[in-house]
Chain A
Amino acid sequence: MEKRYNARLAALEIGVLALGLLFLSPFYFVIVNSFKTLREILLDAARLPEVYRFENYRDVWEIIHFPQVFLNSLMITTLSVACIVAAGAMAGYRLARRPTAFNRFVFVLLVSAMIIPFQSIMLQLVRVTSLLELRGNLFGIVASYLGFGLPMAMFLFHGFVRSTVPLELEEAAIVDGCSPFGVFWKIVFPMLRPVMVTVVILNTLWIWNDYLLPVLIIGGNKELTTIPLAVTRFFGQYTKQWDLALAGLAIAVAPVILFFLLLQKRIVEGVAAGSLKG
Chain B
Amino acid sequence: MQQLVFLGPGLVFFLVIVLVPFLLGFYYSFTDWNGLDLDKAKWTGWSNWKRIFYEDDNFWSSFWFTVKFTAVTVAASNILAFLLALALTRPLKSRNLLRTVFFVPNVIGGILLGFIWQFIFTKGFATIGELTGWPLFQLPWLGTPETGFWGLVIVFVWQTAGYMMVIYIAAFAGVPQDLIEAAHMDGANYWKRVRHIIVPLVMPAVTVCLFLTTSNAFKMFDLNLALTKGGPGTSTQSLAYNIYAEALNNNRYGLGTAKAMLFFFFVSVITMVQVWLTKRREVEA
Taking Cβ atoms with an 8 Å cutoff, the residues of A that contact B are 1, 3, 5, 9, 12-13, 15-17, 19-20, 23-24, 26, 29-30, 33, 41-42, 44-46, 86-88, 90-91, 93-95, 98, 103, 106, 109-110, 113, 115-129, 132, 143-144, 146-148, 150-151, 154, 180-181, 184, 205, 208-212, 228, 231-232, 235, 242, 245-246, 249, 252-253, 256-257, 259-261, 264, 267-268, 271-273, 275-276, 278
Contact = CB atoms under 8 A, between A and B. Distances in A.
B127 interface: yes
6 contacts: A9-B92, A94-B3, A116-B22, A119-B244, A128-B16, A275-B212
Given A235-B115, A249-B116, A91 B11 contact: yes
B98 A110 contact: no
B267 A117 contact: yes
A123 B256 contact: yes
Contacts of B226: 232, 235
Interface in B112-163: 112, 115-117, 119-120, 123-124, 126-128, 130-131, 158, 163
A126 to B, nearest CB: 8
B217 interface: no
Contacts of B25: 120-121, 123-124
A276 B127 contact: no
A124 B115 contact: no
Contacts of B267: 115-117, 120
B71 to A, nearest CB: 18
B203 interface: no
Contacts of A253: 108, 112, 116
Contacts of A264: 100
B40 to A, nearest CB: 13
Given A87-B10, A256-B107, A20 B123 contact: no
Contacts of A143: 13, 16-17
A260 B111 contact: no
B111 A231 contact: yes
Contacts of A228: 109, 111-112
A48 to B, nearest CB: 13
Which of A117, A148, A275 has the most CB atoms of chain B within a 10 A radius of its CB?
A: A117
B17 A147 contact: yes
Given A16-B84, A256-B107, A98 B3 contact: yes
B260 A122 contact: yes
B52 interface: no
Contacts of B167: 271-272, 275-276
Nearest to B242: A119
Given A23-B105, A23-B158, A119-B244, A113 B123 contact: no
Nearest to A275: B167
Given A1-B184, A121-B18, A124-B21, 9 more contacts: A44-B130, A113-B18, A146-B13, A150-B11, A209-B111, A242-B119, A249-B115, A256-B107, A275-B209
Which of A124, A126, A212 has the most CB atoms of chain B within a 10 A radius of its CB?
A: A124
Contacts of A278: 208
Given A249-B115, A257-B108, A113 B256 contact: no
A228 B59 CA distance: 27
B101 A20 contact: yes
Which of B87, B94, B123, B169 has the most CB atoms of chain A within a 10 A radius of its CB?
A: B123
Nearest to B3: A94
Contacts of A260: 103-104, 107
B90 interface: yes
Nearest to B1: A180
A109 B38 CA distance: 28
A119 B263 CA distance: 8
B137 to A, nearest CB: 11
A235 B116 CA distance: 11
Contacts of A91: 6-7, 10-11
Contacts of B103: 260, 268
Contacts of B38: 127
Interface string B218-233: 0101100110000000
A128 B94 contact: no
Given A123-B256, A132-B16, A256-B107, A246 B102 contact: no
